[in-house]
């Protein structure tokens, strides 16, 4: 079986059969909130990758792009 290609535009998924539907990094069982919390606490990407080998650089980069994009909208567009 070959590697599953994770589309960069879908770095986070939610499936009721995986962790009860909690949003996870695509292709893993790692909650997106956990990764966000680790980044917020100052963990660098290398340490996160070392601790969670299923999180590739590509998956982390896609997650960071999603997070940064979510902050691009002006407050008036999010209300």
* Domain positions in the chain: 12-69
Q: pLDDT at residue 56 above 80?
A: yes
pTM recorded for the entire structure: 0.74
- The tokens describing 15, both together, are 């499936």
31-35's contacts with Cβ under 8 Å and 24+ in sequence apart are 32/63, 35/60, 35/63
6-28: per-residue pLDDT in tens?
455 778 999 999 999 999 999 89
Q: Which CATH number fits domain 12-69: 3.30.70.260, 3.40.50.300, 1.10.10.10, 1.10.3720.10?
A: 1.10.10.10
* Residue 12 dihedral angles phi and psi, to the nearest 5°: -125, 135
């Amino acid at each position: 079986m070959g590697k599953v290609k994770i589309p960069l535009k879908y770095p986070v998924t939610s499936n009721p059969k995986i962790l009860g539907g909690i949003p996870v990094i695509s292709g893993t069982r790692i909650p997106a909130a956990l990764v966000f919390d680790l980044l917020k606490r100052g963990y660098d990407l290398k340490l996160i990758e070392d601790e969670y080998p299923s999180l590739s650089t590509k998956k982390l980069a896609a997650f960071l792009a999603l997070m940064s994009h979510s902050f691009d909208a002006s407050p008036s567009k999010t209300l």
